[in-house]
Amino acid sequence: MTIRERKNVYMLPPGDTTLEWYGKAVAEMRSRPSTDPTSWNYQAAIHGIDTANPFWAGLGTAPSSSQQSEYWNQCQHGTWYFLPWHRMYLSYFEQIVSDIIVELGGPAGWSLPFWNYSDLSNPDALNIPPAFTSGTPDTNPLQMPPAGGIPGRENNSVLEQDVTLGALTLTRFSGAWRGASPGFGGPVTSFSHSGGAHGGLEHLPHDFVHVDIGNAMGDPDTAALDPIFWLHHANIDRLWQVWLNQDPSHTNPTESNWLSYSFDFHDGTGKPVSLKASDVLDTTQVLSGYVYQDVPPTTTVANVSQRVHAEDAAPEVLSATNAPAALGAQAHTTTLDFLPANRRRASLHAFAAAPTATAAGSAPSASEAYLNFENITGTGIPPVYDVYLDTAGTGGHTIANYVGSLPFFGVASSSRASEHHNGSGQQYVLDISAVINRLRADPSWRNDNLHVRLQPRKAPHAGSSVTIGRISLYVK
């Protein structure tokens, strides 16, 4: 069988029928009962399901509770399994859609296109492809139907600042230290339906595309009901390959507990199957194999050690809040006081002593600094909050002091304790080194005057809330 090529949805040639057949397959899958593993509802529920959510009102008869327990609510977030799990999920989905297209009389070898929203050469890149927004949900199966008075999508486009690809510059797949960057692919965890710190690619652009589109896409328990979900994740999967191709030092984990961890799915015939991460490292070997348009596959699996070198220093917590912060419609400002005894620690002393060094005429040494937002819990789909550092205490928020944003994708499901979640909430880590080093060089820098300001981009929806368990600053 020939290897499929997953194409850029905006570069499909005129007369191409990829999306037309995708629409027909979606309509067919939606007509199948939720007990059928090849149905639209069943496939979406593998990612996540919340029967109380209006988007799941059409669930109908569900499979047995033991089958639900085995196959539903399995998506991996905040973990180093984020990328391999979604690759497996997409591959079986692609197989199911492809088989259905053949059943419907279409061509064999259908492949899932990807939506490259970060393509600056395409003026339409930020918009959901027109095939997914034209017509009405009744006439176009690629639309996301409304439910309970809520439109299927809140927006038909994403923001340019939310699809930047800074994650591709990260050198490690998994972060070496807690408190510092969780790496490109996410932190080392066990099964994590949601929870740990979101890896670089997962945080940006993955989470932001979800919450920018919003409504069904804004919640992992409903996201896969939207046909655009699959093109978004094909792009994330493509970016994994782009990252690997970018530099020989960019390698996948070689730890056996990553390679041999297996996950359960259903294949094109609905039969239960399982795959391990080691089965999906080379895209040409995943099921019938695939490549991405203009992205060469990795044919050999590099075995470069990502062990921490002796020169690497561990980050230390320099400051942390002692009470949870509940965010609302107004900006929230927290002061980060440095722990006094921490200043005796050599690495932390070097950070805290910066103003003295500056006064003596020498520039303060550059430090790595990470702002951690830990145990974030909440309900509904909260707005994105932009994060600023401020030393003046004036509450001002300028773009120069902007250090990142918090999308809170999946915060509600990560807050619920169940057989799939531990209920600890989510975690985000922002690398604030550049901004804080600039602030430290300023003569007005004081160790007891660092403020973190969280500014909502819009008013929260009714029923949404978010609380950050701890905000901490780690430096090295």
Provide the minimum distance between the beta carbon of 80 and other proteins in the complex, in angstroms, as a whole number.
13
Please give the residues from 56 up to 95 whose contact with other proteins meets the rule CB under 8 A.
69-70
Rounded to 5°, the CA angle 313-442-315 comes to 15
* Residue 260 interacting with other proteins (CB under 8 A): yes
Residue 40 phi/psi, 5-degree rounding, is -60, -45
Q: Which is nearer to other proteins, 461 or 470 (CB)?
A: 470
* Residue 179 interacting with other proteins (CB under 8 A): yes
Provide the minimum distance between the beta carbon of 317 and other proteins in the complex, in angstroms, as a whole number.
5
The whole-angstrom separation of Cα 419 and Cα 422 is: 8
Provide the minimum distance between the beta carbon of 191 and other proteins in the complex, in angstroms, as a whole number.
5
* Residue 335 interacting with other proteins (CB under 8 A): no
* Residue 279 interacting with other proteins (CB under 8 A): no
Provide the minimum distance between the beta carbon of 265 and other proteins in the complex, in angstroms, as a whole number.
13
Candidates 60, 166, 418, 459: give the one binding other proteins (CB under 8 A): 418
* Residue 3 interacting with other proteins (CB under 8 A): no
* Residue 362 interacting with other proteins (CB under 8 A): no
Which of the ranges 27-35, 101-109, 159-167, 175-183 carries the binding residues for other proteins, by CB under 8 A? 175-183
The whole-angstrom separation of Cα 307 and Cα 286 is: 27
Nearest Cα residue to 197 out of 418, 34, 414: 414
Provide the minimum distance between the beta carbon of 322 and other proteins in the complex, in angstroms, as a whole number.
5
* Residue 198 interacting with other proteins (CB under 8 A): no
Candidates 145, 420, 445, 449: give the one binding other proteins (CB under 8 A): 420
Which of the ranges 228-236, 255-263, 383-391, 443-451 carries the binding residues for other proteins, by CB under 8 A? 255-263
Length of the chain: 476
Candidates 155, 402, 423, 442: give the one binding other proteins (CB under 8 A): 423
Candidates 68, 130, 191, 380: give the one binding other proteins (CB under 8 A): 191
Candidates 226, 316, 386, 390: give the one binding other proteins (CB under 8 A): 316
Q: Which is nearer to other proteins, 164 or 190 (CB)?
A: 190
* Residue 273 interacting with other proteins (CB under 8 A): no
Which of the ranges 28-36, 145-153, 304-312, 456-464 carries the binding residues for other proteins, by CB under 8 A? 304-312
Nearest Cα residue to 409 out of 427, 391, 435, 429: 427
Nearest Cα residue to 379 out of 53, 150, 47, 159: 53
* Size of site (CB under 8 A) for other proteins: 54
Q: Which is nearer to other proteins, 31 or 262 (CB)?
A: 262
Nearest Cα residue to 161 out of 229, 209, 233, 127: 209
The whole-angstrom separation of Cα 433 and Cα 437 is: 6
Candidates 27, 102, 320, 366: give the one binding other proteins (CB under 8 A): 320
Provide the minimum distance between the beta carbon of 419 and other proteins in the complex, in angstroms, as a whole number.
4
* Residue 219 interacting with other proteins (CB under 8 A): no
* Residue 368 interacting with other proteins (CB under 8 A): no
Candidates 329, 346, 360, 399: give the one binding other proteins (CB under 8 A): 346
Which of the ranges 123-131, 199-207, 284-292, 312-320 carries the binding residues for other proteins, by CB under 8 A? 312-320
Q: Which is nearer to other proteins, 30 or 470 (CB)?
A: 470
Residue 188 tokens read as 């080392």
Interface residue list for other proteins (CB under 8 A)? 69-70, 177-179, 189-193, 195, 256-257, 260-264, 308, 310-314, 316-320, 322, 324, 339, 341-342, 344-346, 348-350, 353, 374-375, 417-424, 469-470, 472
